Structure 1
Amino acid sequence: MQNEPKDGVDRRDFMKSAIALVGASSALVAQAGTAYAQNANAPAAGAGTAHGTVYTGDVINGKKVISALDVNDLPPGTKQMLYFQGVQMPTGQHWYVSVIVVRGAKPGKRVALISGVHGDEMSPVHMIQTVVSQLDPAQMSGTVLAVLDVSRPALEAMERRWPNSSLGIGLIDINREWPGNENGSSAPSRHAGLIFNRLLRPNTDYALDCHTSTTGMDITSFNLARMELPEARAMAELFPIKQIFDNPAYPTLLANALINVGIPAITPEMGPPRVLDLQMIPSFVEGTMNVLKRYGVIAGPMGRTGKDVGIFVGNSAHTVMSSHGGFVELLVKPNDTVSPGQKVAIQRNTFGEVVAEYTAGTAGQVTGLRTDATAEPGIPLVMILYQSAGRENPEDYSE
């Protein structure tokens, strides 16, 4: 009845975890091929040079629509609210992405704040809104580019993945598509390509791509960051949060796509999905303001950092998977320190009989927990962050 404790990470468990949490993008394999161009003027994928801001001539709710952005075209000392024209819907209209550009009165670094890559992630949107509300462009040097709702159709349904209509209705995780392909084989791939080539890459020196857990799971506050990269390490350590996961994870994450073109980036992960965690958000606001201070975008003393809260750093994760179906009772909480063999959950059937007991396979800290009261076999129940001698393969982390 018991999950056997394991030393390190079981590859099969993590692959099951990845499927359970986020699914596999069926378009990923096909992405390498060519498809018909969305339009004849689409630039080649990977083109990252700004060629000027392009206004479509449309206005939505008083906000101008753009199909490309060069922040240098906008007046210094201003805050601009725009819609970016993304990929077309099946009906031929477009998905629009909400963009706020806060351009300082003086030149300086450009920092991108991104949310909405997954549609069930609410706290990052509120966090970025809070940061932007505190910025005075007249007192700033450089630019803050806030991109709030990357996967608009997923956000409309509060669904993690993009509902794509290529083969009936399938769900595609756009965070397995970056840097995208403007001529790709799915709408999410093309949308990612448009945003990456025409919005993010030409206007970003440093980036925070903000996320939460997926529906059915809760996580603690942590930064997913490649700590071997000096600027990624520096940004990650500026947040007064509980944990850092030192791991590249999937190569197709937005943060990795940005890093691959020379833009330091990390992935802040802020708690549960589908809600505004008003207790957790302020710590990420404080950390983000610290990042802006580090790069001279705003002035002022640093707030609290990871050193002030005793941040825990791990480079690997162990997932305790359900072996049975039934009702789950968790025996640990986020950030709890656990030891090998410690009981972390039990499971009962509808008669109340215990059908499974689950133990930790390694020492570390709890970083994720299932929130649904029931689970089928093969569902992640507890995720434990730990430090190992060798960092696990990125494909074994279920972001």
Structure 2
Amino acid sequence: MKLSTASVLAALTAQAFAQTNFTGDTLQGYPIIEYLDLADVPANTISRFWISAAEAQGGLPYFLPIFVARGSAGSLESGRRLSLSASIHGDELNGIPVVQRVFAALRDVVSSGNFNGTVIGIPTQNINGNILNQRNFFSSSNNGFFTNLNRVFPGTSIAEGGSIATSYAYTIWNSVWGNASNVDIAVDFHTLSTGSNGPLWCYADYRLDGVQRLAELTEADVIKIDPGEPGSIETTWVDFGVPAITLEIGPAKNWNQTLISRSQEFVWRLLDDLNMLPSNYTAPQEATSIGLENSYRATNFSTSVAERSGWVQMNVVPLQDVEEGQAVGTVYNSWGDVIQNLTAGASGRVLTVRVDAAVEQGAGVLDIVYNATAS
């Protein structure tokens, strides 16, 4: 069954902008805008824009790159509006080439006049984190604060008392996504945090119609049926009635080409499912997906934690099935003495494994998913 054409836009309270505000400036040859109105984007074209999400200390702007693939002239009304976003955590890089390569491959079909819909892409959402090669957004006031941008959406403007970090999120939400008026289905690409390894998997809140279909189209190794995290991009979309998932693409800071390719294939399946592609279109890549029948569905996490600081050696790998109480790793002190034997807290499937040997007390070293569901 196809994802139904959403009527959600009519029910959403959107921030009204008369037209895209072009500042008149350019960066690397592309126009700088203050906000995006899809009606002003040329049809049958992939456009590139920059937007300043915030200003760093000294007034230097953080510019975000924005792709917009707009289909035929009537597709704003007849087609769907998809958001593809990546790297809201600065060390999570695998989603970046997914967005970039999808737009590169869309060029011919969009220019042909046979593309029915609109896709907005933000390949690098956390420029600050990318520069610092770490997860969070750093603000330098009062010697500095680190903020997890994926917990502050839809953000708060400076006028409403927001910080640079919350106003940064506010700009993305309102000036790019138009307070949800520019989007009716969304995918936010992530990876694990630095120091862990894992497969292709997604968070999906099945309580909203359309999310289950979206998750199943990923053909991910694991589908985690999950109510989401308040302030995350995925959960904020869901709160606004927009079907959305978080897709986790393996480890941080390591372009895993197989998982990147599988994620691209998911996007092509999604575009086809949304009736955005012409019926005779062939996706420009090899098939590497595992098939939905091989996706493991789960509702719960079990996390194993290091009780003391030291050096950890894990002896299980992602997607391995384990039994509760099974030995999964060892923590050593600086002398090489065993200070903790790690065991599985539940029977299920290994999702993530710590690969950074240096570990502090209280740090998670293993996530197991369990209680697979039939739906």
- Whole-angstrom CA distance in 1 between matches of 2:245 and 2:17: 23
Q: Partner of 2:62: helix, strand, or coil?
A: strand
Tell me by how many angstroms 1:130 deviates. Answer: 1.4
Query: Which amino acid in 2 is paired with 1:327?
Result: W
User: What pairs up with 1:124-143 in 2 under 5 angstroms?
Assistant: 124-135=95-106, 136-137=109-110, 138=112, 139-143=114-118
The structural deviation recorded for 1:73 is: 1.0
**Shift in Å, 1:324:** 1.7
User: Which residue matches 1:220?
Assistant: 199
Query: Deviations for 1:177-235, whole angstroms, at most 9, x for unmatched residues?
Result: 00001134311100111110111123111100110011122222101111232311101
Runs of 4+ in 1 over 6 A off after TM superposition: 301-306
- In structure 1, distance between residues paired with 2:365 and 2:292: 30
The 1:88–1:48 alpha-carbon spacing in structure 2 relative to 1, beyond 3 Å, is same
Matches within 5 A, 1:288-307: 288-299=267-278, 300=281, 307=291
2-side partners of 1:228 and 1:257: how far apart? Answer: 14
Is 2:177 the counterpart of 1:202? no
Question: 2:8 maps to which residue?
Answer: none
Matched to 1:98, the amino acid is P
2:230 maps to a residue whose letter is P
- Range 183-192 or range 279-288, more displaced: 183-192
Query: After superposition, where does 1:135-154 map in structure 2 within 5 Å?
Result: 135=106, 136-137=109-110, 138=112, 139-154=114-129
User: Secondary structure at 2:345's aligned position in 1?
Assistant: coil
Q: With structure 2 as the length reference, what TM-score do the two structures score?
A: 0.87
TM-score w.r.t. the length of structure 1 is: 0.82
- List gaps (5 residues or longer) in structure 2: 1-12
Question: Which of 53, 62, 79 is residue 29 of structure 2 equivalent to?
Answer: 62
Separation in 2, partners of 1:304, 1:294: 19
Partner of 1:366: 350
What is the match of residue 116 of structure 1? 87
Distance 2:282 2:115 in 1: 15
The structure-2 alpha-carbon separation of the partners of 1:120 and 1:252, relative to structure 1 and needing over 3 Å to count, comes to: same
Structure 1 residue 262 displacement after superposition: 2.1
> What residue ranges of structure 1 are gaps of 5+ in the alignment?
1-45, 390-399
Q: Report how far residue 149 of structure 1 moved.
A: 1.4
1:190 alignment partner in structure 2: 167
Alpha-carbon offset, residue 301 of structure 1: 7.3
Which amino acid in structure 2 is aligned with residue 257 of structure 1? T
Q: Which residue of 2 aligns with 1:236?
A: 215
CA drift of 1:304 comes to 7.8
User: Which residue of 233, 251, 267 maps to 1:272?
Assistant: 251
Which of 23, 41, 62 is the matching residue for 1:95?
A: 62
CA contact 2:196–2:353 (8 Å) conserved in 1 = yes
Pair 1:308–1:176, CA change in 2 (3 A): closer
Quote the Cα distance in structure 1 between the aligned partners of 2:244 and 2:290. 17
**Cα distance between partner residues in 1 of 2:138 and 2:343:** 36
The separation in 1 between residues aligned to 2:135 and 2:84, in whole angstroms, is 19
Deviations 1:84-115 (A, max 9, x none): 12111111132111001111125011101001
- 1:350 aligned counterpart, secondary structure: coil
Distance in 1 of aligned mates of 2:61 and 2:105: 31
Name the counterpart of 1:314.
298
- Any conservation in 2 of the 1:238–1:305 contact (CA below 8 Å)? no
Percent identity between matched residues is 27
1:171 to 146, 159, 162: 146
Report how far residue 305 of structure 1 moved. Answer: 6.7
**Residue number among 331, 336, 355 corresponding to 1:352 in the alignment:** 336
Contact 1:217–1:370, Cα closer than 8 Å, also in 2: yes
Query: In the alignment, what sits opposite 1:396?
Result: none
Q: Which residue of 2 aligns with 1:162?
A: 137
Q: Distance in 2 between matches of 1:309 and 1:330?
A: 29
Provide the C-alpha distance between the structure 2 equivalents of 1:232 and 1:388, rounded to a whole number of angstroms.
17
